């Protein structure tokens, strides 16, 4: 009797173990056959249209117009890209934000420059097509005049900005790019920053400001005025920061240390720069779904010319 019980128990145990192993093997097989779920392994190919604005200057720094797409070579992450869109910028609508520092030195100059500013707006803004707004900043950022194409309204808004403390340049670039210059239309987006260049109270870092500007394809031009507290007129404190802001976005920095006539010349130079810009578009095949920064480089076939554009863009 004992032997029968022993043999039965052994059989049951053997069957149980065999069944469990079979279930395990089936599960393993299922797992092996399942396709990978991780995003990291996904390869998506997306041909995105990348559009960038380009300024071309000769060796003496003058803007050059009348070029064709054959004069340019576009590199995205070092790889040459065929140009699919090319146009003179003057055909595209303009969205411009004049971002003005409320520091005393800036206000002193701007109060004298009402006529020059009005002339600038009159010549740059085309009625019913281009628009500009005026933003003032100290430790905060304020919309002094919303978008309009009326040069008088803009010039008045510019001359009525009063002096106050604090300087939040990066906050101003960040918020203006985000709130006033974002959008998907093909308009040229420009910030004209007028400051003495020393950021003291920003919440945003220079990197955050640049990222927001690049995301919205905003070009930053800067007019740097000397700090009135500085003993050295050519005080260089703000220069590296403004260099970075302007060069990374494809803009340019001007130094003002003269009188009203110099300011008028600055507006003329800026106007020339804006009129002779080019818009270049290309399709770049991204092999990653991850959001990443792509470096752009534009080279001129003519060795005496140099192209200036934003340093890159963020793929979505």
Partner 1 sequence: MFNNERTVELLMLSVMCTMSALSLSSRCNAQSFQDPPAQEAVERVAHTTAVRIARRNLENYKGQNGILSMKTLVLGGEFRVTTVIPFRGNVADYNRLEITRPVSLVGGALNVEVSNHQVAKIKSQFESRKIFESVRVIDSYDSALYVGKQKGLSSEIADTHSVQDDALEAPILSAEDMEARDRERAREQQEFEQPSPRTLVTVIEVLDYAKGSRLKQALPLDLGKSILTVRLRYYDKTTGQEIGRQIISGRSDGSSLLGPLSPRDALSGVADGLVDQVTRRVAASVR
* Comparison of 8 and 200: residue with beta carbon closer to partner 1: 200
Between residues 83 and 143, which has the closer beta carbon with respect to partner 1?
143
To partner 1, the closest distance from the beta carbon of 217 in angstroms equals 19
Query: Measured from the CB of residue 164, what is the shortest distance to partner 1 in angstroms?
Result: 6
- Phi, psi (deg, nearest 5) at residue 307: -100, 140
Q: Which residues, including other chains, have CB under 8 Å from residue 180's CB and lie 6 or more apart?
A: 95, 97, 133, 135, 143, 147
Using the rule CB under 8 A, which residue among 144, 189, 224, 252 binds partner 1? 144
CA 313 to the chain's CA centroid: 7
Binding-site residue total for partner 1 (CB under 8 A)? 24
- Shortest Cβ distance from residue 312 to partner 1 (Å)? 22
Our finding on whether 136 is near partner 1 (CB under 8 A) is yes
306 forms beta bridges with 57
Work out whether 179 is an interface residue with partner 1 (CB under 8 A): yes
What binding mask, one character per residue, do residues 192-231 give for partner 1 by CB under 8 A, x or -? ---------x-xx---x-----------------------
Q: Per CB under 8 A, does 135 bind partner 1?
A: yes
Say if CB 48 and CB 286 are below 8 A apart: yes
**Interatomic CA distance for residues 192 and 151, integer angstroms:** 15
| Burial readout 185-208 (b: 16 or more C-beta within 10 A, e: otherwise) | eebbbbbbbbbbbbbeebebebee
User: Which residues are near partner 1 by CB under 8 A?
Assistant: 135-136, 139-145, 162, 164-166, 168, 171, 174-176, 179-180, 201, 203-204, 208
């Amino acid at each position: 009797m004992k032997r029968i019980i022993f043999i039965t128990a052994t059989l049951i145990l053997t069957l149980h173990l065999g069944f469990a192993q079979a279930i395990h093997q089936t599960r393993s097989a299922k797992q092996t056959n399942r396709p990978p779920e991780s995003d990291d392994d996904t390869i998506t190919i997306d041909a995105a249209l990348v559009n960038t604005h380009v300024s071309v200057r000769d060796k003496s720094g003058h803007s050059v117009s009348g070029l064709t797409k054959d004069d340019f070579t576009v590199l995205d992450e070092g790889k040459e890209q065929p140009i699919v869109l090319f146009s003179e910028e003057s055909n595209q609508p303009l969205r411009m934000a004049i971002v003005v520092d409320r520091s005393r030195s800036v206000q002193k100059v701007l109060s004298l420059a009402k006529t020059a500013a009005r002339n600038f707006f009159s010549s740059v803004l085309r009625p019913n097509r281009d628009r500009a707004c005026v933003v003032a900043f100290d430790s905060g950022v304020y919309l002094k005049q919303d978008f309009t194409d009326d040069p008088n309204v803009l010039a008045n808004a510019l001359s009525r900005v009063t002096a106050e403390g604090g300087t939040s340049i990066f906050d101003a670039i960040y918020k203006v790019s985000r709130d006033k210059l974002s959008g998907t239309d093909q308009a040229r987006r420009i910030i004209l920053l007028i400051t003495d260049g020393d950021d003291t109270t920003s919440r945003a870092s220079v990197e955050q400001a640049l990222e927001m500007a690049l995301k919205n394809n905003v070009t930053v031009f800067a007019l740097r005025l000397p700090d009135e507290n500085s003993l050295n007129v050519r005080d260089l404190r703000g220069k590296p920061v403004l260099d970075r802001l302007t060069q990374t976005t494809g803009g340019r920095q001007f130094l003002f240390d003269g009188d009203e006539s110099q300011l008028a010349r600055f507006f003329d130079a800026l106007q020339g720069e804006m009129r002779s810009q080019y818009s270049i578009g290309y399709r770049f095949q991204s092999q990653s779904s991850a959001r990443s920064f792509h470096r752009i480089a534009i080279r001129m076939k003519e060795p005496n010319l140099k192209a200036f554009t934003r340093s890159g863009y963020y793929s979505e």
